[in-house]
Chains A and B, each alone.
Chain A
Amino acid sequence: MKNRVNAILLTAALSGLIGGTTVAAAQTAAPSTPNSVKSSAKVLKAGLKYAGQDQPAKHSCKGKNDCKGQGGCKTGDNGCKGKNSCKGKGGCATDGSKPQLFIA
């Protein structure tokens, strides 16, 4: 009985993989569809997006707290994260949309 259940789940998993991969391939291959439309279905499944990443940062990647009340600044050549490991997130506020639950 247990083996039969497992076989059913395994079949479901493989058919799901085939279905999802086919959809993804179709989205990639559709030349006439704008990228935004192509990926909109995906985006719905992706969840909440960190909107700040799509925006140029309002500040450099240098720490936002530079020099505030610290009586001195970070030095320029290597004095900030922006010069060293800026991740370009430009802030982490989200776009405020509701979470898209993956599986209801």
Chain B
Amino acid sequence: MPYGCRMGVCHGCLVRLVDGRVRDLRTGEVHGEPGELIQTCVNGATGPLVLDV
């Protein structure tokens, strides 16, 4: 998977979410719509997750 700063500022880790929801590890916010670009370095899966890498 692509990566950059690994701290959520550079947007170099964007991967498209296909299915499932993610939790922003910085704020706890659960989010994610199909088609959305996710910062993989600061988000974790909340359940089964499908990413378009």
Judge: A and B partners, yes or no. Answer: no
Residues of chain B at the chain A interface (Cβ within 8 Å): none
